[in-house]
Structure 1
């Protein structure tokens, strides 16, 4: 009798709740989106960054779908006191903080660009006050760049916290591995996003045409042999050159036209990224709420 009870207890102890296997459709979709995000990690063009944000939103949509599965909910509920569960919860909060901070950065960038555009349209070509407005914008841009740098460091430190958590249950290990892959890859998206709009050290310390030449020299070439520079970088280079002029000189009509055109393109791009971040944020919140709901029952 004692032997049979021991056998029964051992069986119950080693028994684990099944999770979606590697062949499950949702798991396949998650892995597909992870592969897409990793494959585009080196791309820095505007369309590539927007595409990564869209893929990130879709990725967390599939994470939420997986969290709705009965077997996933049972497993998470069963493992709620394990350390790796706490790590997953903490990771989801870090991800929300990073996304929220990134949204604030893009909002400030958009407002700053809109203010400059409005100020320039109020002035005539050749007005010396135009260069002063550009100088004011660049001062604001450099201050914002410090905020971007802090956000970037926050992302880097958060990435370092994404360490594997040991578990004795193979099914739990599979879930941990998948969720941590999602978290690691997601942080890399925010890293590339912040780099995309950062003002490089070369740009912030150098002026004139040398900025443009150095900027172009540091960018990779496209398959057609053309230098890939996003809208924000083009605007930064153009305004840095104008800012290097004597403040008593104005901006001629051709320069004015080019600046306004670049501002409009940059605003449109920033707005698109801002909308992408908003969609990603909503999906991140949804996935975190689903996770917390599971663990609270």
Structure 2
């Protein structure tokens, strides 16, 4: 339903794409979903603290709902006839090319979340084991930190840059030649591309934390290294970080103590951080899996336009 997901910042004004409601029965629902996602996008770029897993899940849920609503519009005979006009066939072809990049981004994110979940569960097991072996915990901590550093340097920064490039390459068309229905479809496809890129980017920003706020684009790509911050190792400091950053900081702090041969482990505090991250990862995996299926179905619908 159009009102089934909420935004943390609903008071901000959002430009409506003003779809003509008489042209398709789903147009009002599509407009409402797009408006909510644009509001969510504004909250993503203006938040004064790192994005949490719950915020990203809101975006993923709303995006999947939007794709399902647009599916009927794309498959309507009127849309099929309109988009196959010579000058607008390229719109379908470019959207198909873009879908490959979005599927690649989803695949990368799924891989990162799966590996993060595995590392978190290994750590939880080591910390809960009776007669805890510090060498086993130290090994698990170092494996997690190594995974995070490699993921940031390789997959996360590459994906964020690719998504930024996709956003800047949104195709422009001569709308003067379009009738009202085609105008609506073009606007919907443009907005859908933009908001999908934004939701995917928000997921990688979530995974890149700790990050520094910048005035230019909301967030820097990533911090170069995982820097242990003493105050953030406490539960009080966790409020300044999301679930990913909270675990990064406490494990880096713990690793530093191991290296000094003076590790004092607050097991329950570390387990709380890991449990919060594990829960977020599980929720994001579900939302990402749903989005992945929607992208596949959307691609099939567009391919059917080219090969009726």
Q: Which residue of 2 aligns with 1:144?
A: 151
1:276 aligns with 2:287: yes
CA contact (8 A) 1:202 1:211 kept: no
Q: Which residue of 2 aligns with 1:243?
A: 255
Aligned residue among 119, 131, 143 for 2:138 = 131
Q: CA RMSD, aligned part only?
A: 2.6
1:1-297 to structure 2, matched below 5 A, reads 21-23=20-22, 24-41=24-41, 42-43=43-44, 44-79=51-86, 82-122=89-129, 124-125=131-132, 127-146=134-153, 147-171=155-179, 172-200=182-210, 202=223, 204-209=225-230, 227=239, 229-247=241-259, 248-252=261-265, 255-297=266-308
Describe the shift of the 1:128–1:100 C-alpha distance in structure 2 as closer, same or farther (beyond 3 A).
closer
Describe the shift of the 1:205–1:103 C-alpha distance in structure 2 as closer, same or farther (beyond 3 A).
closer
- Report how many residues are paired: 266
CA contact (8 A) 2:96 2:299 kept: yes
Which shows bigger deviation, 271-280 or 106-115?
106-115
CA drift at 1:122: 3.8
Which TM-score applies when normalising by structure 1?
A: 0.80
How far, CA to CA, are the matches of 2:174 and 2:32 in structure 1?
Answer: 25
CA contact (8 A) 2:40 2:59 kept: yes
How far, CA to CA, are the matches of 2:157 and 2:232 in structure 1?
Answer: 20
CA drift at 1:278: 0.3
How far, CA to CA, are the matches of 1:209 and 1:89 in structure 2?
Answer: 48
CA drift at 1:267: 1.0
How far, CA to CA, are the matches of 2:137 and 2:30 in structure 1?
Answer: 50
SS at match of 2:295: helix
How far, CA to CA, are the matches of 1:101 and 1:126 in structure 2?
Answer: 34
Describe the shift of the 1:80–1:123 C-alpha distance in structure 2 as closer, same or farther (beyond 3 A).
farther
Describe the shift of the 1:205–1:83 C-alpha distance in structure 2 as closer, same or farther (beyond 3 A).
same
How far, CA to CA, are the matches of 2:186 and 2:98 in structure 1?
Answer: 12
Query: What is the CA deviation profile of residues 91-110 of structure 1, one whole-angstrom value per residue up to 9, with x for unaligned ones?
Result: 22222222222212211211
CA contact (8 A) 1:208 1:244 kept: no
CA contact (8 A) 2:247 2:277 kept: yes
CA contact (8 A) 2:52 2:242 kept: yes
CA drift at 1:245: 1.0
How far, CA to CA, are the matches of 2:204 and 2:54 in structure 1?
Answer: 15
How far, CA to CA, are the matches of 1:178 and 1:233 in structure 2?
Answer: 35
Which shows bigger deviation, 64-73 or 162-171?
162-171
